Amino acid sequence: MKTLLEIEGVSKIFGSVIANEDISLSIKEGEILALLGENGAGKSTLVKAVFGLVKPDSGSIKIDGEVMESGDTAAAIAQGVGMVHQHFQLVPVMSVTENLILGDEPKKFGVVSMKRARSEVLKLSKHFSLEVNPDAKIEDLPVGMAQRVEILKALRREVKLLILDEPTAVLTPQETDELLEVLRKLAKRGVGILFITHKLREVMAVADRIAVLRGGRLVGTTTPKDSDESKLAQMMVGRDVVLSVAKSPAKPEQVLLAVKNLRVNDDRKIEAVKDLSLEVRSGEILGVAGVEGNGQRELVEAICSMRSRLSGEVFVKGKSVPNMNPRAAHLSGVSHIPEDREKHGLVNSYSIADNLVLNRFNEVPFSRGWIRDLEKVAQNGSELVDRFDIRATSASVSAASLSGGNKQKVVVARELSQQLDVVVASQPTRGVDVGSIEFIHKQLIAARDSGSAVLLVSAELDEILSLADRIAVISDGKIVATFSSAEADRNTIGRLMAGLSA
């Protein structure tokens, strides 16, 4: 087998941060190499170097035996490198066909021929057994499908080496399984695949070889056969990680959060939460399990008053929370760890300290009347940076300089340090490294033990199973079943999540 990619001694330094240090790797034809590492381990920098988006300070990258001109994406594409970015590079209002031909349109008499384009797309999709509807608009497609289009876009240019940057971060478990299947198929056809992730299960399922990065250095390469999930986790973080969470039995008391007959629309004005009711008691974690896009986001945002409720009510400690007023929800005792920390949770250009008071900058002691008390803000900042193990030189540096896991810890620190009655945690460990996951889980359990009612919404069934005291399965905007953690069974829940009957 031919060697497709040869990385030799690549180093890259950004300012004072060593992103890559003397990394050497290779990929053969038809091989799937998983690049594993925590956030900030240097995975993205390395693949960006391969794709020509980043110019390494030293070392060389050879594709198919040819030395690549560094820092030149066009050359990388010409040499057969394709990249599927974490954030899709698709035009939402255009059709699948239009997106696929963009930049290289089949022409007839100098005019784009949509007929030829369409048949070309069908042929391509058939060739790789990646089914798509050529006429569907991207914005109407589920995320998994959109990603498939993104992959086809890369394949259309006859790639030899396909790079996928955290492709499963946005996918449901089913879509993830489909993607892994697709990757296997492509590998069989001789495509070399470089697959970045920090999800251990996927690595074990699909990789031929696994390369682990930590702190910008290659810790080692192994194969799924010679390793297991806990060994990989150790390699990633350099210490033992408890993947299952230690916790005492719940001692549920009075109902703190009650949702009654809630109906909510999604962004497309289609009803996403349908007459949903639930209750969470003091001292318990209610886990909402479900395939993403079944109304979880709308449910959470409606509880936190960020999204308009069509009907139904939300009660905190028996008091109704007003509609469309996040401030009122906060004041009535709701902490919210939002699903999307970049969009809602943080102001990246603000300091960590300012982010830590984002929703109470106008409360005592952080301000008195109209005047902010910046000293108290700074004090609170350094205190929480210590207490929540946020890895930063100080609380005055910008949030943008943190890795994903540490950004999430800032959000968690802000929300949980307030000791409010209700904690709504939505995908609290998404895109977070293993070390931070463990820490965040412990914090959620501590919040429960201190008497908060915790509503945990997560797409990771394992997370729900290991944290929740009760599990509610959501499907098509409705709670279809509720289990105690003792009677929870992975298969039953999986079937219910998929909309089947138990």
Candidates 32, 132, 258, 346: give the one binding another protein (CB under 8 A).
Answer: 346
Query: What would the two tokens of residue 379 be?
Result: 């004090």
Candidates 20, 39, 45, 458: give the one binding another protein (CB under 8 A).
Answer: 45
Nearer to another protein, 269 or 343 (CB): 343
Nearer to another protein, 38 or 279 (CB): 38
* 216 part of the interface to another protein, by CB under 8 A: no
CA distance 88 to 99: 11
C-alpha distances out from residue 264 to 86, 256, 329, Å: 29, 21, 17
* Smallest distance, another protein to C-beta of residue 87, A: 9
Nearer to another protein, 167 or 345 (CB): 345
Q: By CB under 8 A, which span of 103-111, 394-402, 418-426, 463-471 interacts with another protein?
A: 394-402
Residue 375 CB neighbour total at 10 angstroms: 10
Query: What would the two tokens of residue 247 be?
Result: 């916790």
Candidates 358, 389, 492, 494: give the one binding another protein (CB under 8 A).
Answer: 358
Residue recorded with tokens 């008391």? 253
Query: What would the two tokens of residue 256 be?
Result: 């703190």
CA distance 362 to 364: 7
Binding-site string for another protein from residue 296 to residue 335, where x marks contact by CB under 8 A and - marks none: ----------x------------------xxxxxx-----
CA distance 273 to 226: 45
Candidates 17, 112, 364, 498: give the one binding another protein (CB under 8 A).
Answer: 17
CA distance 345 to 203: 29
CA distance 288 to 460: 10
Do the Cβ atoms of 102 and 115 come closer than 8 Å? no
Do the Cβ atoms of 153 and 113 come closer than 8 Å? no
Q: Judged by CB under 8 A, how many residues of this single chain contact another protein?
A: 39
* Smallest distance, another protein to C-beta of residue 168, A: 22
* 67 part of the interface to another protein, by CB under 8 A: no
* Smallest distance, another protein to C-beta of residue 375, A: 11
Is there a cis peptide before residue 224, judged by omega within 30 degrees of 0?
no
Candidates 367, 396, 482, 492: give the one binding another protein (CB under 8 A).
Answer: 367
Strand partners of residue 163 = 83, 194
* 135 part of the interface to another protein, by CB under 8 A: no
Q: Smallest Cα–Cα separation from 353: which of 383, 385, 395, 390? A: 395
Candidates 223, 230, 254, 362: give the one binding another protein (CB under 8 A).
Answer: 362
Nearer to another protein, 242 or 361 (CB): 361
Residues found near another protein in the complex (CB under 8 A)? 14-17, 19, 44-45, 306, 325-330, 336, 338, 342-350, 354, 358-359, 361-362, 367, 370-372, 374, 398, 400-402
